[in-house]
Amino acid sequence: MEFKSGIVSNKIRIVSSRISASRITWIFSFALLTAISAQLTIPMKPVPITLQTMAVVLAGAFIGAKDGAYSQVLYLFLGIIGLPVFAQTPDAPVGIARLFGPTGGYLLAFPLAAYLTGFIVERNKNYINVVIALFAGDLLIILVGTIILDLFFIRNFELSLKAGAAVFSIWTVIKVFTAASIFFTINKSSAKS
């Protein structure tokens, strides 16, 4: 009996390590996707337009609230230690200093946005709910970023709204519906496999 229970416990450990390895792979993959999407930049001051937010909300939608948030914490960690994962803007600081610059509030909101998006999508994966989740994640990033931008840099809420939120309105709509299309296309493809 002891021999059989030992085999079963070994099989359980192997399966759980595979699950962990798979989760880690997805977390790293979405951190890398966020880093790559940061390089697709439309330079603007004080905050550039990038595809990062789309990667952030897709992380939450695809791999869930916790793992989506972990992927963004990993992304921030890679940037903090000085790897060139943040959007390349000419006068932006490198490493941890980026979190104290005009884009810092947006970056710090990434884990929260991925978590929020994943939390909503985990409840219901119908089209309307996913679109709401993607918008909620994006709006959280814009809200936190704009508040930090106003408190520490611009100090005029009307100007902060224009420079840190309104400028992203059309792009946010485009990115959300693109992300929804990606989400449902990939989910439909994987369901057929």
Delineate the domains of the chain, giving CATH numbers in brackets: 2-187 (1.10.1760.20)
Model pLDDT for residues 100-128, shown as the tens digit of each residue? 999 999 999 999 999 999 999 999 999 99
CA distance 24 to 43: 32
- Higher pLDDT: 150 or 93? It is 150
pLDDT at 65 (0 to 100): 98
Tell me the whole-structure pTM to 2 decimals. 0.88
Mean of all residue pLDDT scores within the chain: 90
Lowest mean pLDDT among 13-17, 19-23, 133-137, 138-142: 13-17
The share of the chain scoring above pLDDT 70, in percent, equals 90
The alpha carbon of 22 is separated from its chain's Cα centroid by a whole number of angstroms, namely 19
Confidence (pLDDT) at 64: 97
Range 152-177 average pLDDT? 94
Please determine, for residue 129, whether its predicted confidence score (pLDDT) is greater than 50. Answer: yes
Give percent of the chain above pLDDT 90. Answer: 76
The rounded distance, in Å, linking the Cα atoms of 126 and 87 is 32
Segment 37-89, tens digit of pLDDT: 999 988 888 888 999 999 999 999 999 999 999 999 999 999 999 999 999 87
Cis bond before residue 46 (omega within 30° of 0): yes
Q: Which pLDDT score is estimated for 93?
A: 81
Q: Work out the pLDDT band at 17, boundaries 50, 70, 90.
A: low
pLDDT band with cut points at 50, 70 and 90 for residue 34? very high
